[in-house]
Every structure is written in C-alpha cells, then in structure tokens.
Amino acid sequence: MRLPVKFTTLGDEIAIEEREVDGLGCFDTATGAIAIHPAQHPVGKLITLVHEAMHVGESTLGFEIDHDYIEGAAFGVAAILIEAGAIEGLTSDDLRAFIREQQKGAE
C-alpha cells in the first residue's frame, strides 16, 4: 500500500496516512483523515484501511454501522481483494500468514 493518498467522497477530501495512533487506526472526522498505525502487518494495514473507510461512510451518509459488522466486513473485503489479486504486493500467502499470526496471538 502506497501512502499517503487522498480521495474524494461526496465532495469531501479524505487523506490516508501512516502515523502513530492509539490502536491500529482511526478516522478523524474533524480533519477528514484516516490514520493507519505503521507497525502493522501489511494485511493488517489493508484491513484497517477498509475498516476506517466504513467509518468514513458512516460520517458521509449520516448513519451508524454496528461495529462488529465493520470488523467482520473489513476482514472479508480485504481478504477478497487480496485473493482476487487486486492489491499489489499482497498475496494469498501473506493473507494466510497474517491469519496464522492472529490465531497464535489469540491463544
């Protein structure tokens, strides 16, 4: 993932950047920036980006999405993108390594 980048959603510019934050990432509604913690596995960064993009959607559209749904959907969307070869530099092997890492951490 090449960061920083910017995109526009319904007229609002959203910046995506890597920087130290509490937790894995955040969407700052005041600045319109998504911050992703740099000390994550590359697959984790993608999952965090999708997760925070859903929070952008909440803010832009003015409704709340159940946070458990966001967690699961972010993983699922990231996995599909990786498996489809849509994310340059991330492979199925990277995804499996990330999953193993997460499972070991949960033990």
Check the CA dihedral 37-35-61-30 and report its sign.
positive
> Is 71:90 a contact under the CB 8 Å cutoff?
no
pLDDT at 30: 81
Span 54-89, pLDDT tens digits: 998 888 888 899 999 999 999 999 999 999 999 999
Q: Is the pLDDT of residue 5 over 90?
A: no
Give residues with Cβ within 8 angstroms of 48, minimum separation 6: 24, 25, 36, 37, 40, 74
Token pair of 101, please?
């890492």
> For the residues 86-105, what does the mean pLDDT come to?
93
Confidence band (pLDDT; 50, 70, 90) for 3? low
pLDDT at 1: 66
* Mean pLDDT of all residues belonging to the chain: 90
Strands of the chain (E only): list them: 5-9, 12-18, 25-28, 33-36
> For the residues 14-33, what does the mean pLDDT come to?
90
pLDDT at 28: 86
pTM: 0.89
Enumerate domains of the chain plus CATH numbers.
Answer: 5-106 (3.30.2010)
> For the residues 1-28, what does the mean pLDDT come to?
83
d(CA 33, CA 26): 8
